[in-house]
C-alpha cells in the first residue's frame, strides 16, 4: 500500500487540538447561532434557545472519531485459533458518516475481510474501526482506504479486502437529487491485490447465504 494511503490513517493536520486552535464550546455554539440566522431563523426564539448547545453536543458524538486512535482498536490479538488461516469476513457493518464536501450524511454498510497470519482480532473491533473513520469528515474512497490500511499495518495479514456501499445524502436531498443511487468502493491489498481468484473468493463469501 502506498505512502499516500498510509498517511490517511492518521493525518495530524486533520486533528485540531486545544494547543493548535480548537475553538471553545461557546465559540462553537455561537457559530451554530450564525448558521441559524443564515438559514433564515431567529436563534433567540424559544424553540431554538438550546439548539446551539444540542448541536455542539451532537457534533461531539457524530465526530468522535477525531478523538480516537484507530490503531488502538486493533491492539488485542487472539493467537489461539487452532491454525485457522483462511478468510475472516465481517459483512453488513452499518455506519453513518458525513461527506467532507457538504457535511451531509452518507449512510451505508462496510464489509471487511482479511487473511489472519499471527492470530485474529475480535470481530467487534472491525466494526469499531469502521466507526473511528466514519465519525470523521470523509470521502467514501478515503474511508475505505483508511480501514484497509489500518488493518494491513496493525495485523500484518496475508491480505485485506474492504468493500463499502453507501448512499450520499448530498446527492439525494440536494444538488443532483438522485435518491437511491449507491456508491461502491473497494480496496484490496496483499494477496487480494492482483489476484482475481482471491477477489472472487471474497465476492462469493460476500454473497453467500443471501
Ligand atoms: N468522490 C467522492 N465524491 C463525493 C463524496 N461525497 C460527496 N462527493 C461529491 O463531491 C462533489 C463536490 O462537487 P462540487 O462541484 O465541488 O460541489 P457542488 O456544487 O455542491 O456539487 P453538486 O453536489 O453536484 O451540487 C459532488 O460531486 C459530490 O457528489 C465522496 O465520498 N467521494
Ligand atoms: Zn457531499
- Selected residue with higher pLDDT from 52 and 77: 52
The CATH number corresponding to 70-207 among 3.40.50.300, 1.10.645.10, 3.30.70.920, 3.30.1130.10 equals 3.30.1130.10
pTM, 2 dp: 0.91
Q: Quick one: what percent of the chain has pLDDT higher than 70?
A: 90
Q: pLDDT tens across 122-158, in order?
A: 999 999 999 999 999 999 999 999 999 999 999 999 9
**Dihedrals phi, psi of 201, to nearest 5 degrees:** -60, -45
Q: Taking Cα atoms as reference points, which of 92, 90, 106 lies closest to residue 175?
A: 106
Tell me what the pLDDT averaged over the chain comes to: 92
Its ipTM equals 0.93
Q: Can you tell me the mean pLDDT for 32-44?
A: 98
CA–CA separation, 84 and 39 (whole Å): 56
| 68: its cell numbers | 480516537
Active-site residue identified among 26, 75, 100, 141: 100
Contact 165, 182 (CB under 8 A): yes
**Mutational pocket test of ligand 1: of 170, 182, 183, the residue with most ligand atoms within 8 Å of the beta carbon:** 170
Q: Taking the domains of the chain in order of start, what are their residue ranges? A: 12-62, 70-207
| Residue 20 pLDDT exceeds 70 | no
**CATH code that applies to domain 12-62:** 1.10.286.10
Amino acid at each position: 500500500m502506498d505512502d499516500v494511503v498510509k498517511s490517511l490513517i492518521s493525518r495530524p493536520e486533520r486533528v485540531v487540538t486545544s494547543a493548535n486552535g480548537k475553538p471553545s464550546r461557546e465559540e462553537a455554539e455561537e457559530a451554530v447561532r450564525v448558521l441559524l440566522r443564515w438559514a433564515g431563523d431567529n436563534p433567540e426564539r424559544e424553540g431554538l434557545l438550546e439548539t446551539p448547545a444540542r448541536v455542539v453536543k451532537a457534533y461531539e458524538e457524530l465526530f468522535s472519531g477525531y478523538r480516537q486512535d484507530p490503531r488502538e482498536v486493533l491492539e488485542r490479538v487472539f493467537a489461539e485459533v487452532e491454525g485457522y488461516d483462511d478468510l475472516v469476513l465481517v459483512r453488513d457493518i452499518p455506519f453513518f458518516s458525513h461527506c467532507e464536501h457538504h457535511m451531509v450524511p452518507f449512510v451505508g454498510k462496510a464489509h471487511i475481510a482479511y487473511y489472519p497470519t499471527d492470530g485474529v482480532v475480535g470481530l467487534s473491533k472491525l466494526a469499531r474501526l469502521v466507526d473511528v473513520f466514519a465519525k470523521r469528515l470523509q470521502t467514501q474512497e478515503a474511508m475505505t482506504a483508511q480501514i484497509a490500511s489500518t488493518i494491513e499495518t496493525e495485523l500484518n495479514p496475508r491480505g485485506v479486502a474492504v468493500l463499502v456501499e453507501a448512499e450520499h445524502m448530498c446527492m439525494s436531498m440536494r444538488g443532483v437529487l438522485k435518491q437511491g443511487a449507491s456508491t461502491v468502493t473497494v480496496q484490496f491489498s496483499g494477496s487480494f491485490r492482483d489476484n482475481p481468484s482471491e477477489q472472487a473468493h471474497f465476492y462469493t463469501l460476500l454473497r453467500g447465504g443471501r
